[in-house]
């Protein structure tokens, strides 16, 4: 399972890039809004310079023509830009056109297997089921991810599943067990993944023993 970072914060992306484990980044309008005053295009270009992999930039138009126009513009920002499109009738129509033009898409706000089937039928490159938000309303988010992966396998569908809306390290393990191609992870969860008290204690002891050798 590949690891993407779910943030528009350049400092977090710089830090994570240095670990050498991140192969893409997803942003959305809410994540962009947290970066007060940041220009969208400049931020996406900067992210593309930090991580050599798919970088999702979301459209904000709600109609098919508007989405297509924004997507065509955003796709010119960098060869790695992936256009994030909401799963709506307008979004599916835009995805069909963009896919025929060779523009990569990430169908976002996916909460069901039916939506994921439609995303694949429209030619989406990626689909992002939001498992944390499903858990929030008492549904089983990871079960939806697993079902999408299984149904895609039945028909050899090539759309890649990005487990999104990840809230804690167990979500990452569950996404991997469910067979998600990718998990897009907030920076905080990425740091939690590497931490283990036995690793810290073990390293402290190695260092103390090394310093005390005769």
Compute the distance between CA of residue 12 and CA of residue 154 in angstroms, rounded to an integer. 38
**What residues numbered 36-55 form the site for ligand E4P, per CB under 6 A?**
none
Using CB under 6 A, which of the segments 33-41, 62-70, 93-101, 128-136 binds ligand E4P? 128-136
For the CB of residue 47, give the shortest distance to ligand E4P in the complex, in Å. Answer: 13
Helices (H), the chain: 10-19, 29-34, 40-50, 64-75, 89-100, 113-121, 131-136, 141-155, 169-178, 187-194, 197-212
Which of 47, 57, 120, 130 forms a contact with ligand E4P (CB under 6 A)? 130
SS3 80: coil
* Residue 84 is among the residues annotated as catalytic for this protein: yes
Q: Which of 34, 36, 76, 84 is catalytic?
A: 84
Nearer to ligand E4P, 70 or 128 (CB): 128
Half-sphere exposure of 130 (CA within 13 A, CB side): 17
For the CB of residue 99, give the shortest distance to ligand E4P in the complex, in Å. Answer: 19
Q: Is 133 in the site for ligand E4P (CB under 6 A)?
A: yes
Among all chains, which residue has been given the structure tokens 């005390």?
212
User: Do residues 126 and 164 lie in contact, with contact meaning Cβ atoms separated by under 8 Å?
Assistant: no
**What residues numbered 64-103 form the site for ligand E4P, per CB under 6 A?**
none
Compute the distance between CA of residue 205 and CA of residue 212 in angstroms, rounded to an integer. 10
For the CB of residue 166, give the shortest distance to ligand E4P in the complex, in Å. Answer: 6
Q: Quick count: other Cβ atoms within 10 Å of Cβ 74?
A: 20
Site string for ligand E4P, 159-188 (x = CB under 6 A): -----xx------------------x----
**What is the helix (H) or strand (E) element at residue 180, kind and residue range?**
none
User: Do residues 206 and 176 lie in contact, with contact meaning Cβ atoms separated by under 8 Å?
Assistant: no
Which of 3, 24, 26, 59 forms a contact with ligand E4P (CB under 6 A)? 26
Among all chains, which residue has been given the structure tokens 């835009």?
94
For the CB of residue 44, give the shortest distance to ligand E4P in the complex, in Å. Answer: 14
For the CB of residue 212, give the shortest distance to ligand E4P in the complex, in Å. Answer: 46
Q: Which residues bind ligand E4P (CB under 6 A)?
A: 6, 26, 28, 108, 128, 130, 132-133, 164-165, 184
Please identify every residue annotated as catalytic.
Answer: 84
């Amino acid at each position: 399972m590949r690891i993407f970072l779910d943030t528009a914060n350049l400092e977090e992306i710089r830090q994570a890039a240095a670990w050498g484990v991140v192969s893409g980044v997803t942003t959305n309008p809410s994540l962009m809004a947290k970066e007060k005053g940041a220009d969208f295009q400049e931020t996406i270009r900067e992210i593309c310079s930090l991580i050599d992999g798919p970088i999702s930039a979301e459209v904000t138009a709600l109609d098919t023509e508007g989405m297509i126009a924004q997507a065509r513009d955003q796709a010119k920002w960098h060869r790695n830009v992936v256009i994030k499109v909401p799963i709506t009738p307008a979004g599916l129509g835009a995805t069909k056109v963009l896919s025929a033009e060779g523009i990569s898409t990430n169908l976002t706000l996916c909460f069901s297997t039916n939506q994921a089937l439609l995303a694949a039928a429209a030619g989406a490159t990626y689909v992002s089921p939001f498992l944390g938000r499903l858990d929030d309303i008492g549904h089983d988010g990871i079960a939806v991810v697993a079902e999408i992966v299984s149904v895609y396998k039945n028909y050899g569908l090539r759309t890649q599943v990005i487990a999104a809306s990840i809230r804690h390290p167990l979500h990452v393990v569950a996404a991997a067990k469910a067979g998600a191609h990718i998990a897009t992870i907030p920076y905080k969860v990425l740091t939690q993944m590497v931490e283990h008290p036995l690793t810290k204690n073990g390293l402290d002891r190695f260092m103390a023993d090394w310093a005390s050798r005769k």
